[in-house]
Chain A
């Protein structure tokens, strides 16, 4: 009896491994196909604009509001600790560097994955379930060019802009709390910030991060949608998978990028 359970466990293990290797292979083939269809997204600019509207413009509210609140909370918490060392005026540095380097790209990326990435997956998955993708192929319309590429490009365009808006609103929120509410000198707040934040090291690296996160989230979202099992349950699994996988890959990529970008500076 134990031999049969062992055998079935082995069989499951083997099937699972083969499954994930097969998925990986499909993902690689799919990425190449999407990359070759990228020019299509620019030929059909109207479709891409529509996707920028759905993933970018409609995410504006959540990004702006969370950025504002993250900045305000950072200012309150930062002030609490900094005032113990009499370094109140460094609040601008603390807030600006943490937002521009880390929190802006990462938190905006996480919000973008759950707000826009999940929607893209659900949409493509449902198109597959209702056989719209097959119908397109039947009409000699390539779904990769018509459906996938515009969504991929739309996500890549939206994400850096959203991250920049998040950081900006965060700095503004910190200004409101730090200068208006607590009463730190406005000149010291901006002056220390400007002296500490470097364009090349901090802002440009943060921008690169947000572009990378945009590519990762969009790629995962369109892949999961295209790869979803064509059932109601399959679409819901794919949507969940998009959020989990893109959040994890944002955090992992952030670590890798930070190691390469900021290694020689602080340490």
Chain B
């Protein structure tokens, strides 16, 4: 193999190798639109962050505007303090509400930002004052069962009726039509 052919092949190899790296960065990693753009920090304190993880997306109206950078527990207030990096192109008002949401039933947990009508914007490093914690499914179910038992009226049967009621949880609208019968049927079993 003479020298120029060899150079040509090595050149082709290096070129398509770098091309592959570019493809991975641009097409797979989508480097152009999100991430690694300079951003600013915001933080928010939540009572409960549910299943929020590092690098979880921060979305406004469903559009990814940043990522969660750090999660720590404030030892004084026992609240979770979440720091997030927001892309510089997006500004949020001072009365923005940060809430922890889940996409779908089993989907990823993310932070949703809802801007208000304030004219002043949040600066770098600011704390978002209004937050809404994650909805914990167990608490919701517990609340639901407690309400059911209370509205059922049969006060004595309430603690016993709680457990079987979750078994018939697949058809809550039908059960709510005749709450008394649903609970007494479960309790009588």
**Inter-subunit contact B55/A265 (CB<8 Å):** yes
**Inter-subunit contact A195/B13 (CB<8 Å):** no
Q: For chain B, what secondary structure do more than half of its interface residues adopt (helix, strand, loop), or is it mixed?
A: helix
A202 within 8 A of B: yes
Name A57's contact: one of B9, B24, B36 (CB within 8 Å).
B9
Contacts of B18 in A (CB 8 A): 161
A204 to B30: give the CA distance in the assembly, Å: 13
Name B64's contact: one of A56, A161, A195 (CB within 8 Å).
A195
**Inter-subunit contact B23/A46 (CB<8 Å):** no
Among A47-55, A127-135, A231-239, the one that faces the other chain is A47-55
Cβ < 8 Å to A, chain B residues 47-96: 53-55, 57, 64
A194 within 8 A of B: yes
A49 with B7, Cβ < 8 A, contacts A161-B20, A203-B29 known: yes
**Inter-subunit contact A198/B29 (CB<8 Å):** yes
Q: How many chain B residues have a CB neighbour from A under 8 Å?
A: 31
Most chain A CB atoms below 10 A, which of B7, B12, B14: B14
A178 to B182: give the CA distance in the assembly, Å: 46
Contacts of A195 in B (CB 8 A): 30, 57, 64
The size bracket of the interface on A is: 35 or more
**Inter-subunit contact B3/A46 (CB<8 Å):** yes
Bitwise interface map of A from 140 to 176 toward B, beta carbon under 8 Å scored 1, else 0 = 0000000000000000011011101101100100000
**Inter-subunit contact B54/A57 (CB<8 Å):** no
Bitwise interface map of B from 22 to 41 toward A, beta carbon under 8 Å scored 1, else 0 = 01110111110101100000
* Shortest beta-carbon contacts, A-B, top 7: A161-B17, A194-B30, A164-B20, A168-B20, A199-B29, A165-B20, A164-B21
A: residues with CB less than 8 A from B are 46, 49-50, 52-53, 56-57, 60, 85, 96, 100, 157-158, 160-162, 164-165, 167-168, 171, 190, 193-195, 197-203, 207, 264-266
